[in-house]
């Protein structure tokens, strides 16, 4: 077993669900200074920087409300205060001060905004016409060089639905799963912008979308090229990682020692970012046996899988996933649409959680993203029937802090903790009830949806002047 220094750093730096690779650096980062530009400085790692700015908000105090804080805490008849875009205080009783808007939350709930770790909004926007099909660069099994953000159409009407019906304030947009290495993901604030950059979550690490199983082998096998089998999938992956390690070594050496700069390769930049812990691996994978193989491959090659996505058979290896500190992002009840989804069960997330493995809900769907709270409610119910009691406040971690960790943004959002972004949803009832909807949604303290005020409802350019413009959708 090859254990690189990078792997040691990863093992030391990452526990459980933690996906914040920002602190993890290439081994050479600690090397003595040479004549090179310095570790990580050989080229720009952020050429499309976020221009997101929080919109202005008013200091707001919600009182007398049931609070799930997103980290497992609950306060009944409590209060939440936020100001200047940040959570100020969460407690049983908070005194209102001058200039603060007070909202009586009697009979209502407050939670952190929902975080969807798996979306294709913007990359597969509505309307789903061919001209909008921008989520899968299906021209080669390894396209680590593509970045999902370069496909994001910021006018996708789906962003509005996710906000107003779903209470989603942060989402990761991933490339599709046709390819073994489908490209970089991007994490967005769910706030409409004129540009993708204006939606980009400041400081969020990139992800690398990988895929195992049926999709890559079907797509390329049908074109008469490798991979056409699961073993072909792994072979292409490993060969690619070997190249990436060589690239990483060359650039590490150059950045420290100087000399002629190695030839840039945009795909290899991304894989180097993974090896250096800067970029988090989000791996589409269904079957338990394949996930176990991928985890060994990651260990062999010196990287870490942050989360398996879909992961319908994670429940079969919950103990292995826990031991490796790999998260699972799953649906509540999807099954049977293809062979590798045949063994899906409704208790997947709950079994993972009970085993102590990191787990969260995800949508992968422009409709499902509008009801992730209801998807978790399904998990709670099926878990209860199977004898696994889950409290609602704990279940909210599957919608908030756990996906925040998998995205590496848990220091700044994902729970109602003082100092964090005021990404907040006021629900008009129990958010795990089918009868409940968001009443107000704030992002960074700015009120961006109000069910009681038609002016505070986003309408994308596409819907302007169309039938149903501005309707309650």
Partner 1 sequence: MKRLFLAALLAGTTAVPAAAQDVTITNAKLVLGDGSAPIEGGTVVIRGGRVVSAGRGGAVAGGKTIDAGGRYVTPGIVAGFTRLGIIEVDGVSTTNDASARDSVFNAGLDIASAVNPRATPIAINRTDGVTRAIVAPDNAGSIFAGQGAVIDLGNDMDALTRPRAFQFMEWGESGARAAGGSRPAAMAMFRNALFEAQAYARNPASFADRGKEALLTRTDAEALQRVLSGQVPLLIHVERASDILGVLAMKREFAGLKPVLVGASEGWTVAQQIAAANVPVLASALSDLPASFEQLAATQSNIGRMKAAGVVVGIGTIGDDEARQARLVRQYAGNLVALSKIPGAAGLDWGAAFATISSLPARTIGMEGEIGSLTPGRRGDVVIWDGDPLEIGSVPTQLFIDGIEQPLTNRQTRLRDRYLVPAEQGLPKAYQR
Binding positions for partner 1, rule: CB under 8 A? 126-129, 157-158, 161, 165, 214, 315-319, 333-339, 342-347, 351, 355, 366-367, 370-371, 374, 377-378, 380-382, 384-387, 428, 432-437, 451-452, 454, 462-463, 466-468, 471-473
| Residue 467, C-beta contacts closer than 8 angstroms, at least 6 positions apart | none
| Bond before 127 cis per omega within 30 degrees | yes
Q: Please say which residue, 93 or 466, places its beta carbon nearer to partner 1.
A: 466
For residues 367-389, one letter each, b for 16 or more C-beta atoms within 10 angstroms of the residue's C-beta and e for the rest, the string is: ebbbbbbbbbbbbbebbeeeeee
8 A C-beta contact, residue 413 and residue 401:
no
Q: Please say which residue, 264 or 385, places its beta carbon nearer to partner 1.
A: 385
| Residue 431, C-beta contacts closer than 8 angstroms, at least 6 positions apart | 68, 109, 111, 167, 373, 425
| Residue 134, C-beta contacts closer than 8 angstroms, at least 6 positions apart | 123, 124, 151, 153
Q: Which two tokens stand for residue 88?
A: 């100020």
Provide the pairing of β-strand 109-112 with 60-68. parallel
Q: Please say which residue, 74 or 132, places its beta carbon nearer to partner 1.
A: 132
End-to-end CA distance of the chain: 54
Q: Please say which residue, 56 or 336, places its beta carbon nearer to partner 1.
A: 336
Q: Please say which residue, 139 or 466, places its beta carbon nearer to partner 1.
A: 466
Q: Please say which residue, 276 or 313, places its beta carbon nearer to partner 1.
A: 313
Dmax over CA atoms of the chain, in Å, equals 70
CB of 213 to partner 1, least distance (A): 11
CB of 72 to partner 1, least distance (A): 20
**Could you give the dihedral angle defined by the CA atoms of residues 190, 194, 197 and 200, in that order, rounded to the nearest 10 degrees?**
-10
- Identify the CA nearest to 52 among candidates 149, 176, 127, 174: 149
Residue showing tokens 């109602």: 416
CB of 433 to partner 1, least distance (A): 6
CB of 341 to partner 1, least distance (A): 8
CB of 394 to partner 1, least distance (A): 16
CB of 357 to partner 1, least distance (A): 9
Q: Please say which residue, 389 or 454, places its beta carbon nearer to partner 1.
A: 454
8 A C-beta contact, residue 185 and residue 148:
yes
CB of 270 to partner 1, least distance (A): 29
Q: Please say which residue, 43 or 342, places its beta carbon nearer to partner 1.
A: 342
| Bond before 323 cis per omega within 30 degrees | no
Q: Please say which residue, 109 or 432, places its beta carbon nearer to partner 1.
A: 432
The CA distance from 50 to 324, in Å, is 32
CB of 114 to partner 1, least distance (A): 16
CB of 364 to partner 1, least distance (A): 13
The CA distance from 205 to 201, in Å, is 9
The CA distance from 298 to 111, in Å, is 35
Q: Please say which residue, 309 or 371, places its beta carbon nearer to partner 1.
A: 371
Q: Please say which residue, 119 or 240, places its beta carbon nearer to partner 1.
A: 119
CB of 218 to partner 1, least distance (A): 9
CB of 435 to partner 1, least distance (A): 5
Q: Which two tokens stand for residue 157?
A: 């009407």
CB of 418 to partner 1, least distance (A): 32
For residue 21, give the DSSP letter: G
Give, in degrees to the nearest 5, the angle at Cα 415 between 410 and 419. 80
The order of strands in the sheet holding 359-361 is 114-119, 168-173, 181-189, 207-211, 280-285, 305-310, 327-330, 359-361
Q: Please say which residue, 237 or 365, places its beta carbon nearer to partner 1.
A: 365
């Amino acid at each position: 077993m090859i254990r690189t220094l990078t792997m040691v750093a990863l093992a030391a730096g990452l526990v459980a669900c933690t996906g914040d690779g920002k602190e993890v650096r290439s081994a050479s980062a600690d090397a003595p200074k040479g004549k090179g530009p310095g570790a990580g400085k050989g080229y720009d790692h952020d050429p499309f920087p976020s221009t997101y700015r929080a919109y202005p908000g008013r200091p707001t105090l919600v009182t007398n409300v049931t609070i799930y804080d997103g980290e497992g805490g609950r306060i009944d008849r409590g209060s939440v205060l936020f100001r200047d875009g940040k959570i100020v205080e969460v407690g049983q009783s908070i005194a209102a001060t001058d200039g603060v808007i007070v909202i009586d939350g009697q009979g209502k709930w407050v939670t952190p905004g929902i975080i969807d770790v798996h979306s294709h909004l913007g990359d597969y926007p509505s309307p789903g016409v061919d001209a909008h099909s921008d989520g899968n660069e299906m021209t080669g099994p390894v396209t680590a060089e593509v970045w999902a953000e370069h496909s994001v159409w910021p006018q996708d009407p789906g962003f509005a639905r996710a906000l107003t019906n779903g209470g989603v304030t942060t989402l990761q947009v991933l490339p599709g799963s046709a390819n073994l290495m489908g490209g970089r993901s991007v994490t967005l604030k769910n706030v409409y912008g004129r540009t993708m950059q204006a939606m980009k979550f400041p400081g969020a690490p990139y992800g690398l979308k990988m895929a195992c199983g049926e999709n890559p082998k079907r797509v390329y096998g049908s074109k008469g090229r490798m991979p056409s089998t699961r073993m072909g999938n792994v072979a292409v992956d490993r060969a690619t990682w070997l190249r990436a390690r060589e690239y990483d070594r060359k650039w590490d050496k150059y950045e420290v020692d100087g000399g002629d700069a190695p030839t840039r390769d945009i795909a290899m930049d991304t894989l180097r970012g993974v090896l250096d812990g800067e970029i988090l691996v989000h791996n589409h994978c269904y079957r338990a046996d394949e996930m176990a193989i991928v985890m060994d491959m990651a260990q062999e090659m010196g990287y870490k899988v942050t989360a398996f996505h879909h992961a319908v058979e994670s429940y079969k290896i919950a103990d292995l996933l826990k031991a490796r500190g790999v998260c699972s992002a799953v649906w509540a009840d999807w099954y049977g649409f293809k062979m590798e989804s045949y063994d899906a069960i409704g208790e997947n997330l709950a079994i993972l959680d009970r085993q102590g493995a990191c787990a969260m809900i995800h949508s992968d769907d422009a409709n499902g993203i509008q009801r992730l709270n209801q998807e978790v409610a399904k998990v709670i119910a099926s878990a209860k029937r199977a004898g696994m009691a889950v409290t609602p406040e704990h279940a909210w971690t599957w919608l908030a802090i756990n996906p925040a960790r998998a995205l590496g943004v848990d220091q700044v959002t994902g729970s109602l903790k003082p100092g964090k972004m005021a990404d907040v949803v006021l629900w008009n009832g129990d958010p795990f009830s089918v009868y409940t909807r968001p009443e107000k949604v704030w992002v960074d303290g700015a009120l961006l949806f109000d069910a009681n005020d038609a002016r505070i409802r986003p309408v994308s350019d596409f819907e302007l002047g169309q039938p149903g413009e501005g309707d309650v959708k």
